[in-house]
Amino acid sequence: LDEAATAVWVAPRLAGLDDGRDMARLADPTVARDAGPGALPEGLQLARHAMGRVPPATYRRALEALTAFARRAPELVRLQVPALLIGGEHDRCTPPEALLALAHVLPDARAVLLPGVGHWPQLEDPEGFEAALLDFLAGPAPVLH
């Protein structure tokens, strides 16, 4: 993430931790903000529950790792495995443009954008997510070098 993305995405989440809010209190607004309009209500309930159980120190470390993770084209182009990138058309955390750009950088990637879905496609549209995953897994076996 560049400085602008860090300021917009990571900093507010860290600020919530710094303000002393527990994960359950952070989960409600985070899930509501980052979900798509077509999200399965039960999936959002599970997302809130799961996020609420993450230890705050773990969440902090994960947020901090996002700013240092090597995700530039020279590093990613070296990945020599098939990749399936599933995202939501309403994902504000990993916008569709970013997901599609990543699919173009990876040597053997397929991108699937699920309609009406936000940041948690596996929970917001489990059937669409599963269909995309099963289709990918049923595809041709990778060529091993």
- The residues spanned by each domain of the chain are 3-66, 73-137
The model's pTM: 0.85
Residues 46-57, mean pLDDT to the nearest whole number: 97
93 contact partners, CB below 8 Å, separation of at least 6: 9, 34, 119
Residue 17 pLDDT > 90, yes or no?
yes
Token pair 């705050």 is at which residue? 56
The confidence score (pLDDT) of residue 144 equals: 55
Instruction: Let me know: does 17 contact 26? Beta carbons within 8 Å.
Output: yes
Residue 145 pLDDT > 60, yes or no?
no
The confidence score (pLDDT) of residue 137 equals: 96
Identify the three-state secondary structure at position 85. Answer: strand
Signed CA dihedral, 8, 10, 13, 17: sign only: negative
- Token pair recorded at residue 4: 């602008």
Token pair 């020279």 is at which residue? 74
Return the closest-CA partner of residue 29 out of 56, 60, 52: 52
- The one-character DSSP state at 47 is H
| Distance in angstroms (rounded) separating the CA atoms of residues 134 and 145 | 24
Residue 53 pLDDT > 90, yes or no?
yes
Higher pLDDT, 77 or 116: 116
Residues 54-65, mean pLDDT to the nearest whole number: 94
| Distance in angstroms (rounded) separating the CA atoms of residues 2 and 9 | 10
The confidence score (pLDDT) of residue 132 equals: 97
Taking the CB of residue 119, how many other CB atoms lie within 10 A of it? 21
Q: What is the pLDDT of residues 64-110, one digit of tens each?
A: 888 887 667 778 888 888 999 999 999 998 899 989 999 998 989 99
Residue 8 pLDDT > 90, yes or no?
no
